[in-house]
Amino acid sequence: VQLQASGGGLVQSGGSLRLSCTASGFTLDYYAIGWFRQAPGKEREGVSCISYSDSSTYYADSVKGRFTISRDNARNTVWLQMNSLKPEDTAIYYCLADLEHSRCPPSLRLGSWSWGGQGTQVTVSS
Report pLDDT digits (tens) over 91-109: 999 999 999 999 999 889 9
Amino acid at 98: D
Counts of helices then strands in the chain (DSSP H, E)? 0, 10
pLDDT higher than 80, residue 1: no
Distance of CA 18 to the CA centre of its chain: 10
Reference 7, options 121, 126, 124, 123; nearest CA is: 121
The Cα 57–Cα 106 span in angstroms is 11
Q: Report strand pairing: 120-125 vs 91-98.
A: antiparallel
Task: Answer yes or no: are the C-beta atoms of 78 and 98 closer than 8 Å.
Answer: no
Report pLDDT digits (tens) over 16-66: 999 999 998 889 989 999 999 999 999 999 999 999 988 899 999 999 999
Report pLDDT digits (tens) over 57-76: 999 999 999 999 999 999 99
- DSSP lists the bridge partners of residue 51 as none
